[in-house]
Structure 1
């Protein structure tokens, strides 16, 4: 059996390759690829393997981007860090999934499942419906209020100050308190958690970058590609902490910025 591995983390790729061969030494690993681009090029110029082991999140996109660019004529086992709710989609639309970090027992069960499907269906294992899988994985949009806050009443010592949202650069948490940074350089405490603010701010103008920051588009002065698919941001006004967008959130963030 020929197996193609698509995994962008070198250590994870080596471990997965080793575990596959431990499960079945007769398997031939035809290639180990690390990106959407290299996978599309390889699949376009080589006979397709019997089975594909594909990480969902890759350094230059998602493995779904591969399937949208080149027909994949072999079954797929996904490796993924998606939560349990989203995993139901993988159960329906792929041979199986492996939840990271992968262990040998789980890999062996997936390979056994694939072999059983081959015995039952031969080469007629149902093809992967990528579009339907992506639709199922995409979270339903949260109900949005018909209007968003235009101002907040903020504390500064014993004073309460009305501040327009248009004057706010970003919101952040520090020492379990929530603050807003204004364009004028003032740092003021606000009596809301970031989760609450996310429902009160217009999502066209503000983005929840991570657990610590909600950013306005105007506050982002520069975006740097960082290790393992993350993005590192520079903000205006400057901030003490380093601000990162995770690999899982990077695509949404880039779309929000207008890519």
Structure 2
């Protein structure tokens, strides 16, 4: 079985590859692709695999953009934390999803499901239906957060968020007024909810607002150091792998 992995986080991609090989040593991962454009170029010049494991939110856009430029006929298993309506849509249509972090038993079950439907001819239609369902929702991003302060509640506009960070498994919003507020979401959930044109996942600990950036400096080994206007002392490093996508994000 030949499989392509589309995932912009290297550690996630490598873990997926290892899990696949643990499940079946005959599985061949023929490519690990990190972005929309790289994936389109690969499909245009390569033979289609048997299966694609595809993350929805990539550093240079949403993976649905691949389908608008290339007719992918093989089945796809999406890896996502997307909303329940979209998930329900492709569960019904027999295209599976994996909720991060991905576990071996879940991946094994998804592969078994793929093997059961592999001989059917409905996959292209099913994938297009899923893309249509999710594309209808892709522009709906969070505009406000409701937070609790003591025994009161406060509504915070997304544009007032300077950056988001995670520490000891707790996620915090840092606002323009320098106040810090914990929220009951993971970094992955926050990333899904924020408009990718305005916010960027700089690293595992930080999501930054476009308007919060003051300066960007080259750092060692191809990394970038970002200085925020209101928080210049923050040590915010963009990895070598992400720096390419970060610069593309800034140059839109």
Shorter chain as normaliser: what TM range? 0.5 to 0.7
| In 1: Cα distance, 2:15 partner to 2:96 partner | 19
Contact 1:78–1:94 (CA<8 Å) still a contact in 2? Answer: no
User: Which of 194, 200, 213 is the equivalent residue of 2:175?
Assistant: 213
| In 1: Cα distance, 2:175 partner to 2:35 partner | 29
Q: 1:137 to 1:108 in 2, by over 3 A?
A: farther
Contact 2:176–2:230 (CA<8 Å) still a contact in 1? Answer: no
User: Which of 198, 202, 215 is the equivalent residue of 2:157?
Assistant: 198
Q: 1:224 to 1:123 in 2, by over 3 A?
A: farther
Counterpart in the other structure of 2:135: 134
Shift of 1:44: 0.5
Shift of 1:111: 0.8
Q: 1:98 to 1:142 in 2, by over 3 A?
A: same
2:52 counterpart SS class? strand
1:196 counterpart SS class? strand
Q: 1:139 to 1:88 in 2, by over 3 A?
A: farther
| In 1: Cα distance, 2:86 partner to 2:216 partner | 29
Contact 1:198–1:208 (CA<8 Å) still a contact in 2? Answer: no
Q: 1:44 to 1:233 in 2, by over 3 A?
A: same
Could you report, residue by residue, the CA deviation over 1:184-215 in whole angstroms, capped at 9, with x for unpaired residues? xxxxxxxx97x52429xxx6xx5665411259
Aligned pair count reads 195
Could you report, residue by residue, the CA deviation over 1:52-94 in whole angstroms, capped at 9, with x for unpaired residues? 1011222322222222222211111011244556533553567
Could you report, residue by residue, the CA deviation over 1:161-184 in whole angstroms, capped at 9, with x for unpaired residues? xxxxxxxxxxxxxxx98xxxxxxx
Contact 2:8–2:34 (CA<8 Å) still a contact in 1? Answer: yes
List runs of 5+ in structure 2 lacking aligned partners: 165-172, 178-208
Contact 1:86–1:137 (CA<8 Å) still a contact in 2? Answer: no
Shift of 1:124: 3.0
| In 2: Cα distance, 1:140 partner to 1:88 partner | 19
**Structure ID, larger Rg:** 1
Shift of 1:128: 1.1
| In 2: Cα distance, 1:142 partner to 1:218 partner | 16
2:31 counterpart SS class? strand
| In 1: Cα distance, 2:83 partner to 2:235 partner | 27
Contact 1:5–1:33 (CA<8 Å) still a contact in 2? Answer: yes
Counterpart in the other structure of 2:79: 79
Counterpart in the other structure of 1:60: 60
Q: 1:27 to 1:243 in 2, by over 3 A?
A: closer
Shift of 1:141: 7.4
List runs of 5+ in structure 1 lacking aligned partners: 144-175, 178-191
Q: TM-score, normalised by structure 1?
A: 0.58
User: Which of 123, 128, 136 is the equivalent residue of 2:121?
Assistant: 123
Counterpart in the other structure of 2:25: 25
Q: 1:60 to 1:109 in 2, by over 3 A?
A: same
- RMSD across aligned C-alpha pairs, in angstroms? 4.2
